Amino acid sequence: FNLGALYLYQEKYDEAEDLLKKSLEIREKIFAPNHPNISMCLSNLADIYKNMLRYEEAEQYYKRVVEIEKDYHGSDHMSYAEALSNLAGFYSAQGKLSDAENLYITSLEIQIKYVGPDHPSLAPQFNNLGLVYKGQKMYQDAEDLYKRSIQLVEKVYGLTHPSLANILNNLASLYNEMGRLSEAEPIYIIIFL
């Protein structure tokens, strides 16, 4: 499993797929069908298939991970929230923004119950939902979420955290798309200086 995951991150998808399928086969013999050890393999296989542009297979595996996490942990658990977020990210990349929106919202609701509304771990989730809203031309909602994400990162890590540049870039891009160039320009300057 670990070597398969390593190959995934090295973008050696064929090798990763072979190893992860073997790992999955072994785990399915050892564990119950809804065990989290199985969902870890499935999640990595879904990532491989997404990267190999095998979208139907990727979606199938992401959905199975969601089912396993829900069956094993329940619909109010962080592992389930993470699985929903991964499926939402897949849908967002596919342009299925309405599906992505609903999944991100449900995932955020669960995460907020565990960590509270001001935890920095929520920043990527707010950013991702902001990207969905931008894609849906829901500009005010996107702006609010980007600003919330920036606030969470700034509060804990300060202005030099690497993830802040990505969020700021998304906000500047939003302003650019909205024709608010005078607001986009100073953000771009901050990012690229």
pLDDT one-digit tens code per residue, 98-139? 999 999 999 999 999 999 999 999 999 999 999 999 999 999
Average pLDDT of every residue of the chain: 94
pLDDT < 70 stretches in the chain: 1
Return the pLDDT at 141: 98
Return the pLDDT at 166: 94
Residue type at 149? S
Return the pLDDT at 154: 92
Return the pLDDT at 86: 97
Closest CA to 141 of 188, 182, 174: 174
Buried/exposed code over 79-102 (b: 16+ C-beta within 10 A; e: otherwise)? bbbbbbbbbbbbbbeeeebebbbe
Task: Give dist(CA 75, CA 77) in Å, integer.
Answer: 6
pTM of the model: 0.91
